[in-house]
Structure 1
């Protein structure tokens, strides 16, 4: 009997997704992986093994296409144990300069695509009475930086979605984790991966400084994709994985600093907050 796990991973042709796929195949698990181009994905993975690897061309903006990919995975492997919603991209610039379509596009991939995948997979995991959903968020969704407002909004949405989803599906033996990394050397800041919104205003010095700092850090980020992939695999083996996992020392620092500030602000404004209720 084959006891390896079956993984379904989106955005798998580069970055963390590709690193994770390669490591899972190396250790003997079975993987269905999505990309806009399955041929490119197959070449990147460099493995021809239809018994363990199923590369899929999937348009994540199309619900029918997502449903078909899940059915193909079930036909090939019989079950789905772990889902990793990794597909997504960054947007750097100001809200003023972002077009309506820019905003719709990034929410479509970073948020709605993940929801489409989960929607299709949940009936499978409920029948199994087991499963694990890993949504790749970002520390920016909790403690963002200037210039990343729209991107941060998508990742905050993923975090909130994951929190409530976890409570919805706990009774079925399904776990949920939102992984919130800081900077990793995954090509996230590369020209062909990042949506750069030109800053047209004369001001916005904080945004411009942040943009220059982040672009200069491309290829020098402290996060190691190999280590991140190993952590995700370890999470899949845990009996009680965390709901939130801030990944990387910078992510841990930023989250800790914000929690400290938030806790102080909550206490400072407590008397105002509770005045909003009807008197007892």
Structure 2
């Protein structure tokens, strides 16, 4: 690994959660950091004042706002090296319960917001012939076996998919891309401010209500993961010469990923004979 504190980091959704932990750790290690939030006041209050910190109020759904933030970062620090697409929120509700508007909004923020950032940072990264993009997904973007989280999982599956393609697309330019899949970390992700629930609740979905109760009452504030340690891992991965495309964070994420892989292998084998006999016969 190389050791360089001269890298410039750009972190979205930095006023709380994993983004805030990452920004604070980066500043403590003397990196230059541009960080975004919808509320500049919330961001400044959460992080405090630092000589190498650039707080930015950004609407990631507005391309002009994103472009302005990227340009301010480059003008302030002279480069842009590590980009972290962290902004997003959770959505808990059965597929039948959620309205089209509720579902689309989750995709807008969790998927298209990140794509807006990627489009506007890549010209600088390609010009430098270097850089690293981290897209924060979730273990729920690798395995969707969570009643009530179907749309949220779908947004994070999308993040997995476009990050894998992105990694292949930008490799010739010396740029790396990593999709981060955290398990349960003790942030405010399960608080009302970060987790939306459907307007039209249907009593028929007992498994969804049970899942909602479990996450909001039992898991919230009792998550096993330490976000500061997660931030430390990301900083270490950013310094690797050959960083992974897939970064799972937490023993729970590793366990769930391994279960999913075994389940897929089992399904593959259960129908291999008939499912592979589908080519034209010579």
TM over 0.5: yes
1:21 corresponds to: 23
Q: Spell out the pairing of 1:52-63 with structure 2 (5 A cutoff).
A: 52-63=52-63
1:31 corresponds to: 33
The alpha carbon displacement at 1:99 in A equals 1.2
Q: 1:93 touches 1:198 (CA, 8 Å); kept in 2?
A: no
| Secondary structure of 2:237's aligned partner | helix
The alpha carbon displacement at 1:209 in A equals 1.6
1:272 corresponds to: 274
1:228 corresponds to: 230
The alpha carbon displacement at 1:199 in A equals 6.5
Q: Does residue 218 of structure 1 match 2:220?
A: yes
Q: Aligned partners of 1:210 and 1:188: how far apart in 2?
A: 15
| Secondary structure of 2:114's aligned partner | helix
* TM-score (norm. length: structure 2): 0.95
Q: Aligned partners of 1:268 and 1:40: how far apart in 2?
A: 52
2:149 corresponds to: 148
Tell me: CA distance 1:3–1:180, structure 2 relative to 1, closer, same or farther (3 Å). Answer: closer
| Secondary structure of 1:88's aligned partner | coil
Write out the 4+ residue segments of structure 1 that deviate beyond 4 Å after TM superposition: none
The alpha carbon displacement at 1:196 in A equals 1.3
Q: 1:178 touches 1:243 (CA, 8 Å); kept in 2?
A: yes
Q: 2:167 touches 2:177 (CA, 8 Å); kept in 1?
A: yes
1:90 corresponds to: 90
Q: Aligned partners of 1:200 and 1:155: how far apart in 2?
A: 23
1:205 corresponds to: 206
Q: Aligned partners of 1:184 and 1:197: how far apart in 2?
A: 24
CA offset digits 1:49-79 (Å, max 9, x no partner): 2xx1110010111011111111111110111
Greater mean alpha carbon deviation, residues 209-218 or residues 196-205: 196-205
Q: Aligned partners of 1:120 and 1:181: how far apart in 2?
A: 25
Q: 1:94 touches 1:199 (CA, 8 Å); kept in 2?
A: no
Q: Give the gaps of 5 or more residues in structure 1.
A: none
Greater mean alpha carbon deviation, residues 232-241 or residues 195-204: 195-204
Q: Aligned partners of 2:203 and 2:88: how far apart in 1?
A: 30
Q: Aligned partners of 1:37 and 1:198: how far apart in 2?
A: 25
